[in-house]
Structure 1
């Protein structure tokens, strides 16, 4: 009787260990993916910055041009 009790506890601990390992792996994977996505160079932001620089330079040239 006592042996089956410890067997049930042992099975539960093994199952809980597997679940906790899987969840920990999943959370680490999401964290790693997020840090890589945030830390990488954002091509869209680079394009926006180039466009804004071009817009500023064209506005500066337009303001310096003689008005008739």
Structure 2
């Protein structure tokens, strides 16, 4: 798969969560330990986007509103 094609398959929701983690200085290992979301899904080189249940678990842990994320990624 070409790099450009791979980038198109990335999840905007997952990308948002990763950017938020980086901005707040929260490590993937810390989040994974607390939420049971696989750590490999919390790194920039992830292969699979977050499942809905994982996304909601992260929103609760990070105190983020799914609605606010949806509005942001639509822009």
User: One fold, TM greater than 0.5?
Assistant: no
Higher helix proportion: 1
Which structure is higher in RCO with an 8 Å CA cutoff and minimum separation 6?
Answer: 2
Relative to the length of structure 2, the TM-score reads 0.22
Larger radius of gyration: 1
Relative to the length of structure 1, the TM-score reads 0.25
